[in-house]
């Protein structure tokens, strides 16, 4: 393969079961990554079925081109999944039988130092899922104002120690630019008492998450695209979404709850005036989480939550 794109698909069996795949159906893997989930979807599709795989990471698309080069019933598209409904309609596809959105960062992105995603591997601060975009983590860390940095650390990292971390980032970058993930990790760790660093470990996690979400604009437009994908589902079609932190899971939960509800008028309204109609049913009211066995085999499944819906 052109790239080593190792990635163990999270909750694989649960996702495939949740999709309830029809062999002649049309399916979308919105974030195809290394193709782990897609490979299992393809096993269940006939030659009349079709899978559309999207990814904003060109490395992922190149790897999947090689992995699935013998398959004629898959189309790979280098694009942000938020563009999927528009792109599919431009191709004449109005209805689909299922979609998967895996909102996790791939192991390849985390483990490849030069992609600059992780405090575990030292490399230039980057964090771009799409390497063609201009905004990267280096720019955020070295050019964002104090107020902007505080805002993203509170909003996207839910980091209670944001003030001290941002103070140290500002102080450090006045001397020289903060170049690498290793430098940034040291600055963050200096913002905590030593007992906290050794006690909890991974004190950089929330700050790195916040910067990554900002760089890739991960949360804006998420609820809108979920609604558009639900609208495209045929009756009986399934939607499955994997989340990995509370911010995105909250968005998914709220959209699914709204779409699974009929009238949303205030309780004491005598007659319905909202006109809201239920479009889906929840297959699982509580999110599916990884088993102890899976967590032991793949630690990145620890925070995963899977939510599944079916179109009415």
- Domain extents in the chain: 12-103+220-311, 119-216
- Tokens 């495209």 belong to residue: 232
Lowest-pLDDT choice from 15-19, 43-47, 223-227, 298-302: 298-302
C-beta of residue 88 within 8 angstroms of C-beta of residue 112: no
Contact between residue 284 and residue 304 where contact means Cβ atoms under 8 Å apart = no
Residue 143 φ/ψ region, left for φ over 0, alpha for ψ in the -120 to 50 degree band, beta for the rest: alpha
**Residues 129-134: what's their mean pLDDT?**
93
Tokens representing 159?
A: 């980091």
pLDDT > 70: percent of the chain: 96
Q: For domain 119-216, is the CATH number 1.10.150.170?
A: yes
* pLDDT for residue 191: 94
Per-residue pLDDT tens digits for 64-74? 999 999 999 99
pTM of the predicted structure, to 2 decimals = 0.91
Rounded Cα–Cα distance for residues 30 and 295 (Å): 24
Give residue 190's pLDDT.
94
Q: Tell me: the pLDDT tens digits for 158-174?
A: 999 999 999 999 999 99
Task: Identify which has the larger pLDDT, 155 or 264.
Answer: 155
Q: Is 298 helix (H, G, I), strand (E, B) or coil?
A: coil
Count the Cβ atoms, other than its own, within 10 Å of residue 73.
Answer: 15
pLDDT(1) > 50 = no
Percent of the chain with pLDDT over 90: 82
Reference 8, options 99, 80, 110; nearest CA is: 110
Taken as a whole, the chain contains a residue count of 312
Q: What is the predicted pLDDT for the residue at 98?
A: 98
- Looking at 1.10.357.10, 3.60.130.10, 3.40.50.150, 3.30.70.270, the CATH number of the domain 12-103+220-311 comes to 3.40.50.150
pLDDT on residue 2? 46
Residues 170-187 have a mean pLDDT of 97
User: How do residues 221-233 score in pLDDT, each as one tens digit?
Assistant: 999 999 999 999 9
- 246/47 Cα distance (integer angstroms): 39
pLDDT in tens, 265-285: 888 888 888 888 899 999 999
Averaged pLDDT score across all residues of the chain: 93
**pLDDT of 58 strictly over 80:** yes
pLDDT of 5 higher than 80: no
Angle between the N-to-C axes of helices 181-189 and 205-216, in degrees from 0 to 180, rounded to the nearest 10? 130
Q: Give me the residues paired with residue 78 across strands.
A: 55
Q: In sequence order, which ranges of the chain are alpha helices (DSSP H)?
A: 12-19, 36-43, 58-67, 84-90, 107-111, 137-143, 146-157, 162-173, 181-189, 194-200, 205-216, 222-232, 246-259, 292-297
Is 240 a residue whose pLDDT tops 90? yes
Q: How far apart are CA 25 and CA 96, in angstroms?
A: 7
């Amino acid at each position: 393969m052109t790239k080593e794109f190792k990635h163990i698909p999270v909750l694989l069996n649960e996702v495939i079961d949740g999709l309830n795949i029809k062999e002649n159906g049309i399916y979308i893997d919105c974030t195809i990554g290394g193709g782990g989930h897609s490979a299992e979807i393809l096993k269940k599709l006939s030659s009349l079925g079709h899978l559309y795989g999207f990814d904003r990471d060109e490395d992922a698309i190149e790897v999947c081109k090689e992995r699935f080069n013998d398959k004629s019933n898959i189309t790979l598209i280098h694009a942000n999944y938020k563009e999927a409904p528009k792109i599919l309609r431009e191709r004449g596809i109005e209805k689909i039988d299922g979609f998967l959105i895996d909102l996790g960062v791939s192991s390849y992105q985390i483990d490849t130092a030069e992609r600059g995603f992780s405090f575990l591997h030292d490399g230039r601060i980057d964090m771009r899922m799409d390497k063609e975009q201009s905004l990267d983590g280096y720019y955020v860390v070295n050019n964002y104002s104090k107020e902007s940095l505080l805002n993203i650390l509170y909003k996207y990292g839910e980091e209670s120690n944001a003030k001290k971390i941002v103070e140290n980032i500002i102080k450090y970058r006045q001397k020289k630019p903060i170049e690498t993930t290793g430098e940034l990790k040291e600055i963050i760790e200096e913002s905590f008492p030593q007992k906290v660093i050794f006690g909890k470990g991974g004190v950089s996690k929330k700050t790195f998450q916040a910067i990554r979400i900002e760089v890739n604009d991960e949360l804006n437009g998420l609820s809108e695209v979920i609604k558009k994908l639900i609208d495209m589902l045929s009756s009986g079609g399934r939607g499955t979404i994997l989340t990995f932190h509370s911010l995105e899971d909250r968005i998914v939960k709220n959209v699914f709850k709204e779409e699974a509800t009929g009238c949303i008028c205030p309780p004491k309204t005598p007659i319905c005036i909202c006109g809201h109609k239920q479009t889906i049913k929840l297959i699982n009211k509580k999110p599916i989480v990884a088993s102890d066995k899976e967590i032991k085999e793949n630690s990145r499944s620890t925070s995963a939550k899977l939510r599944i819906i079916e179109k009415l």
